[in-house]
Amino acid sequence: MSYADAAGTIVAQILALPEFVRVQALFPDAGLDEAMLLDIIGAAGDLAEGVIEPFNAQADQVGCRLEQGRVRLAPGHHDAWQAFVAGGWTTIEGAPQWGGAGLPMLVHSACEELLNRASPAFGMLPTPMRCATKVIERYADPALCAEWAPRLIDGSWAATICISEPDAGSDVPRLRTAAVPHADGTWRITGEKIWISFGDHDLTPRIAHMVLARTPEGAHGPAGLSLFLVPSDIAGQRNAVVVRRIEEKLGLHGSPTCALGFEAATGHLIGTPGRGLAQLFTMIIGMRLSVGSQGAGLAGAAASLAWRYAAERRQGGRADAPPVTIDRHGDVQRMLLGLAARAEVTRGLVLTAAALSDLQAREEDEAARTEAGLVLAWLLPITKNFAAEAASLCANDAIQVLGGAGYTREWPAERYLRDARVLAIYEGTSGMQALDLALRRVLGDEGRAYRAFLAKARGDADRLGNATLGALLDMLEQAASGLDKPTATVVAYPFLQLASLATTGWIAARLAALSGSRVHDHLAALGRHWLLLARAQALAEAALTSHGQALVAAFGEVDRGYLG
Q: Is 161 helix (H, G, I), strand (E, B) or coil?
A: strand
Dihedral sign from CA coordinates of 493, 498, 501, 506: negative
C-alpha distances in angstroms, 403 versus 39, 315, 331, 412? 37, 12, 13, 13
* 3-state DSSP of 190-233: EEEEEEEECCCCCCCCCEEEEEEEECCCCCCCHHHEEEEEEECE
Asked if 427 is an active-site residue, the reply is yes
**Backbone dihedral region for residue 372 (phi beyond 0: left; psi -120 to 50: alpha; all else: beta):** alpha
Q: DSSP states of 249-278 as a string?
A: -SS-TTS-EEEEEEEEEEEEEESSTT-HHH
Nearest to 89 by CA among 59, 133, 45: 45
> What three-state secondary structure class fits 400?
helix
Residues 6+ apart with CB under 8 A from 102: 27, 29, 30, 93, 94, 95, 96
**Active-site entry in 312, 427, 477, 557:** 427
- Residue 509: Cβ within 10 Å count: 26
Please say whether the beta carbons of 544 and 492 come within 8 A: no
**Are the C-beta atoms of 389 and 296 separated by less than 8 Å?**
no
Phi/psi for 89 (5° steps) reads -75, -20
283: region left, alpha or beta (phi > 0 left; psi from -120 to 50 alpha): alpha
Question: What burial class does residue 317 get, using C-beta atoms within 10 Å of its C-beta: 0-12 exposed, 13-18 middle, 19+ buried?
Answer: middle
Residues in the chain: 564
Number of neighbouring beta carbons within 10 Å of residue 75: 11
Q: Looking at the annotation, which residues are catalytic?
A: 427
